[in-house]
Amino acid sequence: MAVPELRTRPRTVEPFAEAEYPEHPYPGARPDCSFVHLDGVGYPLLPDPTTTSGWRVRTGSGTEPCLDAWLVEHGAAPLRRRRPVLAYGSNACPEKVGWLRENLDLTGPAVVLRAECSGLSAVWSSGLRPRDGQRPAVLAATSGVTEQHTLWYATAEQRRVLDRCEGRGKRYRLVRLHDSTAIELENGQTPDRVLAYTAAVREMAPLLVNGSVVRCAELGQQQALGLRGEPATGDGLACSEIVGEPSAA
C-alpha cells in the first residue's frame, strides 16, 4: 500500500513546474510518468517505438519530437550516450532535481524514466540524512516484490553530480547491478549496465526491525523516523562496486 510520502498523481500529459512535486518530506512527490527536466520544468515522455530513442517529448506546444532530437536541439547528449542509474529515493522528485542544479551545479536536461523493478526495493536505512535529519532510502533485494522506481539516463558529468549528492565512498557506493533483467522501462525495454547507489557503511545499511527490512512503500517518513532496530549485515544485491569511472562495457 502506497503512503503519502510516495506521492504520485494521475498520469501527467502536459509540462509541469518542478514546484508541483515538492521534495519534502523525503522522498518527495513524483509524477506518474517518465519525464525530462530542464530549467525548472518537467516535460512528460511518451513511449514510441517508431523513434530512434523510443520516446517522444510532450512539449506543450503542439509538437512531440523524438527525445533524442529534443536533447540534441538543447545541446545535450542523446539517450544512447547516457548511462542508466537507478533512482529509488528523492532523485525521482522533480524539485530535488532542481535542488541539484542550485546546490551541486547539475547542468543539462535530466532524463528520468519510470521503470518496474522486480526483486529490488527501496527500504529505510539505519542512518539519517546529514543535511536535514530525515531517514533516507537504501536499496535491498526483496524476493517476490515489484516496485515502481526510475532510471536517470545520466551523462558522465551528471553522474558525478549524483556521486557528490550521495556521498559516494562515504555513505553510498556506486555499483553495477548484475541482474538488470529485473528492470523494465515503461516502453517495454530492458536496460543493461544499470548503475545504482547502495550502502557503503554500516550506518547507511538497511534497517532491520524484528529481523526484517522496512520498505519505504509501506511506511512514511514521519513513522520511519521512529523506527528502532539494527543495521543489516548486507543488502542481498547481486552487484559489483565500481572503482573510478564506470567502463563502457
Window from 38-42, 60-64, 113-117 with minimum mean pLDDT: 60-64
The answer on pLDDT for 100 being more than 60 is yes
> Which residue range(s) make up the domain with 113?
16-241
The answer on pLDDT for 57 being more than 80 is yes
Q: Would you state the pLDDT for residue 11?
A: 54
Is the residue at 196 inside a domain?
A: yes
Q: Would you state the pLDDT for residue 3?
A: 40
Question: In sequence order, which residues have a C-beta less than 8 Å from that of residue 58 and are 6 or more positions away?
Answer: 13, 14, 15, 43, 44, 45, 46, 64
Cβ neighbours, 10 Å, residue 99: 18
Query: The CATH number of the domain where 112 resides is what?
Result: 3.10.490.10
Q: Would you state the pLDDT for residue 45?
A: 98
Is the residue at 78 inside a domain?
A: yes
The answer on pLDDT for 102 being more than 80 is yes
Q: Would you state the pLDDT for residue 249?
A: 59
Is the residue at 102 inside a domain?
A: yes
The answer on pLDDT for 152 being more than 90 is yes
Q: Would you state the pLDDT for residue 181?
A: 64
Q: Would you state the pLDDT for residue 179?
A: 75
Q: Taking residues 77-98, what's their average pLDDT? A: 97
Domains in the chain: how many in total? 1
Q: Taking residues 35-44, what's their average pLDDT? A: 98
Window from 23-32, 55-64, 171-180 with minimum mean pLDDT: 171-180
Q: At 204, is the secondary structure helix, strand, or coil?
A: helix
Rounded CA gap, 154 and 195, in Å? 10
Strand partners, 83: 154
Q: Taking residues 43-72, what's their average pLDDT? A: 96
* % of the chain residues with pLDDT over 90: 90
Is the residue at 4 inside a domain?
A: no
Rounded CA gap, 54 and 91, in Å? 22
Per-residue pLDDT tens digits for 224-236: 999 999 999 999 9
Greatest CA separation found in the chain? 54
CA 98, 100, 101, 103 torsion-angle sign: positive
Q: Would you state the pLDDT for residue 12?
A: 66
pLDDT tier at 6, thresholds 50, 70, 90: very low
Q: Taking residues 46-66, what's their average pLDDT? A: 96
Is the residue at 6 inside a domain?
A: no
Is the residue at 10 inside a domain?
A: no
Per-residue pLDDT tens digits for 170-210: 999 999 999 766 899 999 999 999 999 999 999 999 999 99
Q: How far is CA 32 from CA 45, 47, 77, in A?
A: 11, 14, 25
Is the residue at 9 inside a domain?
A: no
Rounded CA gap, 244 and 114, in Å? 27
Q: Would you state the pLDDT for residue 1?
A: 35
Query: Nine-digit cell at 205?
Result: 545499511
